[in-house]
Structure 1
């Protein structure tokens, strides 16, 4: 038995030596006639259910879904048409599989990394009006909150804490400035993460239509998503609480030691706790990253969607992490390219210089500077939200295709009632080829 993905051994012959018959019986093999090899009758050792010349299809009654081997006959010689039963044609190499059906932005089979990214971009191109409209609304709300938090509560957020001396008071002051900067960055990053998850939930409805090749408007996407929005908000709250609690618990010992007076030791222990908490938070984030599309498309509850995500991610954690990291690298590059000219304009209008900002000698952040940065972030978010949401939604569908043969349901939903396209990998429920 061969466990290689997308391959199964063909049916075996009744005898390991197909040329050997009963030597005590008279030879009943018909003499060759003037007809071609393709028209000649098959030898008696072969199955009577042979495909027509030049083709290869499963005999009647032998199922052949999902690209598995369907040869139900034996024999070691070539069949009519120059093929070995269940094996490669003359010349070596397996014949290429026919292309999978593609009613929308992705082919209905297990997806590669490039196909997932291309599907997200194709969704943006095909449905740019509803996608950009929803992304703009979410980006404006999120960036307004980030600008207000930065300007009101953390006016010096982003400045480098300066350590100008070696006294204990200066060390403690520098650590407090660093902690304040990290807290401000953490709050703004959390707002951005929540906005991304919320955009993923709403844009998933558009991606699901794009996979089927159906048109969709922003109003239709909103009507489909509206019943699940309270649960989506509950999911956001629970994930935020969980990730924050993990990081706080891991950094709490270091904070206690700093409070009792041993700042260097507390800072060192807090740094280790922050690293451990960050690693655990990343593990949980990947584990529950497919919860928003599961909640929106399967109409799940909050806890059920989290359990569903954990089940789909199990066995594919590293693959999903890699694809998500690649997506965030692309998102970061796009945001960086958009923010460069906006940041330069903000520095010019705010009357400060980049050198002063880097050295930590710049004045408190002005509203002109923050507003321009927020405008650039809105533009970049309108472009990056569809990418991140599309990748997450397509990852969810890809995992279900690999584990649950979702492609058959999608084909039927798209109107392909006779769908039986072979795929390059077998679909075994609950089994995957990636390691955790």
Structure 2
């Protein structure tokens, strides 16, 4: 029987001799490599080197964390901050709730005594002193409100740092407790407060400038007041466009400050550079998430407030005071819901900024590869560095 007459088991014909091969040498099969080497891959192609573990050994892929270790699609980018809230609610929602409660308590503690004192003075004041007293009360109220505003700024800055740490550690598959998150965020609270204060001061100066224009117009003449109002509206539109542009370009400054240990100036330059090419994607994500949160808040709060008003009118249609209890209960429930929804909103929006930062670094600097390598080395028991440290080329000019 010749070589061509032999058949392999199952009836398949045997492959013919290989041209140039020594006489009697068998032809390479589908599971072997030319030259006598063996392989587990089809068609004799060599196997690629193992992705994980030592050569020739198998190791599980990196443990999945909060974010996939690849550049994020728009859907993942959009819903990832909500996943942050669901993944570690005790630490994330708890932090947001603490911030909202601190802000609310500070406002109540400062404003209520001032209003009681002011109304008492107005009731007992002589008619000729009433105008001066009202003007002084307005100025005093504005000064008093600076205290809760300052406390809210500090609380918001701290929450931003907490959520940045949560997103970063969650991406690596870690789940930190409430206290651990706050301790890590506290290390960078100084630069965070500085950045938040700069943004707040810029907003206050813009608002003060518009108010001053209207006041000057009102003092000058009715025609000047109309001109001032029109100028303020047109100027406000221009400032809004500018604010959207600058705000988007600098949106990831807090994440850079916390995770890269950068100063404010360096963080501003890094944020401006990393958002290059992704401005509309970043702006669209920020606006869409804000729209979702606002819509959800209105859906929850407004029906309860409206229901309370309807019940109050049904119980006391003549306004005798019988529906006061319903009004008080509705107000308290609405306040509680507002605090809870405010906590959720603050957490999600702060987490979104951190998620956008991670995604932009994956796209510009290959952070996904560094994160995967860090997870793999850590799970193998090897010491690892900080994967979020800025690359050596971070200070290079953008191309």
Per the shorter chain, which TM-score range? 0.5 to 0.7
SS of the residue corresponding to residue 216 of structure 1 reads coil
**Alpha-carbon offset, residue 388 of structure 1:** 1.4
CA distance in 2, matches of 1:413, 1:279: 41
Q: Output aligned runs, 1:77-226, within 5 Å.
A: 103-144=64-105, 198-226=158-186
CA distance in 2, matches of 1:347, 1:406: 53
Indicate the residue corresponding to 2:190 in structure 1: 230
**Alpha-carbon offset, residue 346 of structure 1:** 5.8
Q: Output aligned runs, 1:330-349, within 5 Å.
A: 330-344=292-306, 347=309
More helix by share: 2
CA contact (8 A) 1:290 1:309 kept: yes
CA distance in 1, matches of 2:203, 2:107: 19
Indicate the residue corresponding to 1:407 in structure 2: 368
Deviations, residues 27-68 of structure 1 (Å, cap 9, x unaligned):
x9649x9957847998xxxxxxx99534867989xxx9xxxx
Indicate the residue corresponding to 1:328 in structure 2: 290
CA distance in 1, matches of 2:46, 2:205: 58
**Alpha-carbon offset, residue 347 of structure 1:** 4.0
> Highest Rg: 1 or 2?
2
Structure 1 gaps of 5+ residues are: 1-27, 43-49, 65-99, 156-182, 353-365, 420-428, 431-436
Structure 2 gaps of 5+ residues are: 1-17, 52-60, 117-141, 315-326, 381-392, 395-399
Scaled by the length of structure 2, the TM-score of the pair is 0.64
Match among 328, 331, 344 for residue 383 of structure 1: 344
CA distance in 1, matches of 2:44, 2:111: 69
Match among 257, 262, 280 for residue 318 of structure 1: 280
SS of the residue corresponding to residue 415 of structure 1 reads helix
State the superposition RMSD in angstroms.
Answer: 4.6
CA distance in 2, matches of 1:150, 1:281: 30
Indicate the residue corresponding to 2:42 in structure 1: 53
**Alpha-carbon offset, residue 118 of structure 1:** 3.4
The answer on 1:289 being equivalent to 2:251 is yes
SS of the residue corresponding to residue 96 of structure 2 reads helix
Deviations, residues 357-387 of structure 1 (Å, cap 9, x unaligned):
xxxxxxxxx9987655432221102222232
**Alpha-carbon offset, residue 139 of structure 1:** 1.4
Indicate the residue corresponding to 1:24 in structure 2: none
CA contact (8 A) 2:252 2:357 kept: yes
CA distance in 2, matches of 1:105, 1:381: 23
SS of the residue corresponding to residue 188 of structure 2 reads helix
CA distance in 1, matches of 2:219, 2:213: 10
CA contact (8 A) 1:103 1:414 kept: no
CA distance in 2, matches of 1:367, 1:273: 41
SS of the residue corresponding to residue 414 of structure 1 reads helix
The answer on 1:275 being equivalent to 2:237 is yes
Cα distance, 1:39–1:334 mapped onto 2, change above 3 Å: closer
Cα distance, 1:41–1:267 mapped onto 2, change above 3 Å: closer
| Number of aligned residue pairs | 315
SS of the residue corresponding to residue 241 of structure 2 reads helix
Cα distance, 1:128–1:418 mapped onto 2, change above 3 Å: closer
